[in-house]
Amino acid sequence: MWGRLQSLLGIVKKKPLYIRSLKEQDIAAVMSIERQMYNYPWSEGIFRDCLNVGYSNWAFIKDDQFIGYAILSVAVGEAHILNICLDPLYKGQGLGQQFLVELIGVAKKKNADSIFLEVRPSNTAAVKLYKKAGFKQIGQRKNYYPAADGKEDAIVLSLDLTVNPA
């Protein structure tokens, strides 16, 4: 009864944790998190380009606070997570896993049969998260990421969405 009354009155209760489309006005928050999390962050221009070219760009919201973002490219049945990041204040709470599950759901809704990503081997928390979600290593890209001592390889991971129930 209360839910119906709320609906009739136009009262909308927001979910405490959800994703929504990333917006131009989110760029400052994106850059704040990006700079905290990466020694070699993407530039503001790269994020603006991602918005302009029509990638699947997502904001992760918890209790009305912007806590993370993801850039997902989807084409011809394949999705590629180009960037996914969570505010360091929210690390270790299982939120990264929830965000990843949401992105997998987006890829499925966009008819992707598989999802790919690259990750630094030194980012052990991320590697563990992806493997827990069912991603499998399918390759390695030599000298892919900038690093203090030159370059760091990338592990290439893939998830088959046709068999994964996530």
Query: pLDDT by residue (tens digit) across 47-99?
Result: 999 999 989 999 999 999 999 999 999 999 999 999 999 999 999 899 999 99
Where in the sequence numbering do the catalytic residues fall?
118, 130
pTM for the full predicted model: 0.86
**What pLDDT does 148 receive?**
87
Query: pLDDT by residue (tens digit) across 37-60?
Result: 999 999 999 999 999 998 999 999
Q: Where are the domains of the chain?
A: 13-160
Average pLDDT, the chain: 90
Question: Cα separation of 59 and 29, whole Å?
Answer: 10
Confirm if 99 and 92 have CB atoms less than 8 A apart.
no
**What pLDDT does 15 receive?**
76
Q: Does residue 5 have a pLDDT over 90?
A: no
Q: Average the pLDDT over each of 15-19, 20-24, 72-76 and give the range with the smallest value.
A: 15-19
Confirm if 152 and 144 have CB atoms less than 8 A apart.
yes
User: Which CATH number applies to 13-160: 3.40.47.10, 2.40.30.260, 3.30.310.80, 3.40.630.30?
Assistant: 3.40.630.30
Positive or negative torsion for Cα 5, 8, 10, 13:
positive
- Using a 10 angstrom Cβ sphere, with 0-12 exposed, 13-18 middle and 19 or more buried, the burial of residue 155 is buried
In the three-class reduction of DSSP (H, G, I as helix; E, B as strand; rest coil), residue 67 is classed as strand
